[in-house]
Amino acid sequence: MAMKKNLRWLPYFSLLLIMPSFANIPLGETLQVSTHFKSITGKPTWLLIVREVETGRVLPYQFDIRNNDNFWLAFTSGHSYRVTASNLSFGPFAKIKNFCNLEDGIINGESYFVTLTGDLTPDPTRFRCKIIKYKDLPFPIASHTGTSSE
């Protein structure tokens, strides 16, 4: 029983081990997603693929939509990126390609805040995507090895 209680902390300890490596990666723009659905049909999955223009690095994000209210972040390390895929799947047959019209060319120096509302179904007239674009300030991740001002 005590072993089981100690194992529940394992994911948090593993994050502490890898966080210093993230502290050295500069973060650029972000895609923030907030959902407030009235209802959800099935168990949809949203595949969002971002390609950084400067480095060519491909960043895949998969969001399993199981709750009406969600908040997700997709980070880039550059200031120019392109959403190469934004596909919402409700199973093998019902898919919405270019979900929220995010596949819209190269985005330079802007972050997005995406709000999804309504009833999430394969019918795109039942939900709404609202996108707010904004100039972003750098989003630093501090290293735990930094010096204290005290």
Question: How much is the CA Rg of the chain, to the nearest whole Å?
Answer: 18
The token duo for 7 is: 């194992």
Asked if 47 contacts 17 with a C-beta cutoff of 8 angstroms, the reply is no
Residue-number span of the structural domain to which 96 is assigned: 28-135
10 vs 112, more confident: 112
Task: Say whether pLDDT at 148 is over 80.
Answer: no
3-state secondary structure of 78: coil
d(CA 32, CA 36): 14
Structural domain contains residue 144: no
3-state secondary structure of 105: coil
For residue 26, the tally of other CB atoms under 10 A from its CB is 13
Structural domain contains residue 86: yes
Note the pLDDT tens digit of each residue in 54-64. 999 999 999 99
Structural domain contains residue 97: yes
Structural domain contains residue 118: yes
Q: What's the CATH number where 77 sits? A: 2.60.40
Note the pLDDT tens digit of each residue in 103-130. 989 999 899 999 999 999 999 999 999 9
The values of phi and psi at residue 146, to 5°, are -70, 170
Edge-to-edge strands, sheet with 127-135? 69-75, 30-40, 110-120, 127-135
Mean local confidence (pLDDT), 128-133: 94
Structural domain contains residue 149: no
User: How many domains does one find in the chain?
Assistant: 1
